[in-house]
Amino acid sequence: MGLDLPVSTLADQVTWATDLLRPVWRAAIAEVLASKVMHLDATGLPVLDREIAGGKRLGALWGYVGSANVAAYVYTSTGSAKAQRNGEIGPADMLALRSGYTVADASNLFDPSFKRPDLIECACNMHARRYFRQSARRGRHASGFADCRLQEDLRDRVGDCRARPDEKLAARKERSRPVFAELGAWCRTYKPHEPPASLLGAAIRYFTNHEVALGRFLEAGEVPPDNGVVERLHVRAALTRKNFLFAGSDAGGDRAAIAFTILSCCRIVGVNAVDYLADVLPRLARRVRLRDVPALLPSRRRANG
């Protein structure tokens, strides 16, 4: 904006703004948890810690995206599944609060959570494809087949991305299911003959170990074939991290999660974040009834014009 402001003043403004936005952040978390399909994925956030050697440790920003055009970030002081400090919400704690389809990378952090029958694991075909692509780049031409097959599966075979779930499911059953089955058969054929430590062996093992979860998008039209929606939101966090480098404390990590939540919600529904904040922050500075807070989410304001 062309203003020359001290860093301390800017930091104070971030503190003030995120404190006001905290109720909206909580409303976003509630909507994400209530969504029929929820995505989750993490990106790192370095945090200053003068009590340890090196003075810095790696925290995590856990991104969650719901099926109702809403996203939420939650900061944790470590990459562990469970909370490590008072009031912290780890991914396992979040998963304990919901049921239904949940799209996540095949991390062993989530294995205990997905043992519950009401929490349905949906894996990311984009991750499976990356393993095959890495192998293909090393000259394993057989990997190109799997890479091509997964590329086909990653596309929703309906021209309009706004197609109804039943239309998507019908198209997937007709076009994607045979391709997915062919790839599964191919992996089981190659698996006994490929060293597990090789890139192709690791790719095949990843696919066969998680084949049920990877194929979940063939069972419900609401379930996407990959976790791309939340991974794309991480780009904003990664780019800005190059500027601010680290959070000054765990409290700073919490504020970063609130800020990225609001920015991500605006991005998903195509709302200008600056205009949104200029409108909502003065409202929050006055008295707002708790029941009226969800109406301040970017998705609600976009729907209401």
Alpha-carbon Rg for the chain in angstroms: 21
What is the rounded distance in angstroms from the CA atom of residue 202 to the CA atom of residue 75?
A: 31
1-20 tens-digit pLDDT: 788 989 889 889 999 999 99
Measured CA distances, 144 to 15, 104, 141, 151, 154 (Å): 50, 25, 5, 10, 15
Verdict on whether the full-model pTM lies above 0.85: yes
Encoded tokens for 301? 């304001």
Measured CA distances, 153 to 183, 210, 226, 279 (Å): 10, 15, 10, 42
Cβ–Cβ under 8 Å, residues 153 and 126: no
Cβ–Cβ under 8 Å, residues 64 and 29: yes
At 245, is the secondary structure helix, strand, or coil?
coil
Cβ–Cβ under 8 Å, residues 73 and 260: yes
Highest mean pLDDT among 65-69, 84-88, 114-118, 228-232 belongs to 114-118
Whether the per-residue pLDDT at 201 is higher than 50: the answer is yes
Please give the helix or strand (H or E) that residue 257 lies within, else none: helix 250-269
Q: If you search the block for the tokens 């990959």, which residue do you land on?
A: 226
Q: How confident is the model at residue 52 (pLDDT cuts 50, 70, 90)?
A: confident
